[in-house]
Amino acid sequence: MRALLVEDDAAIAAGVAAALARAGFRVETAVDGEAAWIAGGDEDFDVVVLDLGLPRLDGLSVLRRWRSEGRRFPIIILSARGGWMEKVEGIEAGADDYLAKPFEPAELVARVRALIRRSAGHAEAVMTFGALTLDTRRMQASLDGAVLSLSPLEYRLLDALAHNPGRAVPAGEIAETLHGTDAADVNAIEALVARLRRKVGPGVIETRRGFGYLLAGAG
């Protein structure tokens, strides 16, 4: 999962980036509003964590530009301005959530995960695909109630497929999610899928030739 973190305070940015990385996100950062606007206009992110008090272009202006341009990724605002008027202004500008500083990183991660679940059509932390269950809060998967032993890479692949219900995810997109580059080594992706299939059983991960991979029963 890809997250764009927009924060000009180096200490806060480092802490948030570390918390998101521990939760399985690949984090890209921007330290001013113009850089954030360009990044969000050019790239697809699963979530954006946006500070309001930014140099060059303030966070609300960035947010309004993205929404006016049709960018629909989930956005959570971080701001030292925690009054109800500021929250209303942020939500009306197009934010999906608002978290006032100071905050606990664990709460931010929980809110980010909830936003992503809602944007993918999953209101709950637990996602079920037949006999397969994915608990995004605990970052674990179960088959017929038995917890699977997955490597971090295998879990992130499963998570990427689960958050794209009914859609075949191309190898390049999988590589971007897992490694930060869309220069996919098709053989490496196929080998990873094969290892995961041995753990989740036959028929769970489908291959759509020329399109990619998807979870059976998703959507």
Sequence length of the chain is 219
Residues spanned by the domain of 181: 126-215
Cβ-based neighbour number of residue 149 at 10 Å: 9
Same domain? 46 vs 85: yes
Q: Tell whether 56 and 82 lie within a shared domain.
A: yes
The enclosing domain of 146 has a CATH number of: 1.10.10.10
Q: Do 202 and 112 sit in the same domain of this protein?
A: no
Q: Are residues 65 and 134 in the same domain?
A: no
Q: What confidence score (pLDDT) does residue 83 get?
A: 66
Shared domain for 140 and 158, answered yes or no, is: yes
Instruction: Count how many domains the chain has.
Output: 2
Whether residues 114 and 137 fall in one domain: no
pLDDT (0 to 100) of residue 5: 97
Same domain, 80 and 114: yes
Residues 149 and 188 in one domain: yes
Residues 51, 154, single domain; the answer is no
What per-residue confidence (pLDDT) applies to 149? 93
Residues 95 and 139 in one domain: no
- What integer pLDDT is reported at residue 219 of this predicted model? 46
pLDDT in tens, the chain (219 residues): 899 999 999 999 999 999 998 888 889 999 999 999 999 998 889 999 999 989 999 999 999 999 999 998 999 998 886 666 777 788 888 898 888 888 888 888 888 887 887 776 554 567 888 889 888 767 789 999 999 999 888 888 888 888 777 888 888 878 777 766 555 577 888 899 999 999 998 889 999 988 899 988 654
- pTM of the complete model: 0.61
Q: What is the CATH number of the domain that holds 85?
A: 3.40.50.2300
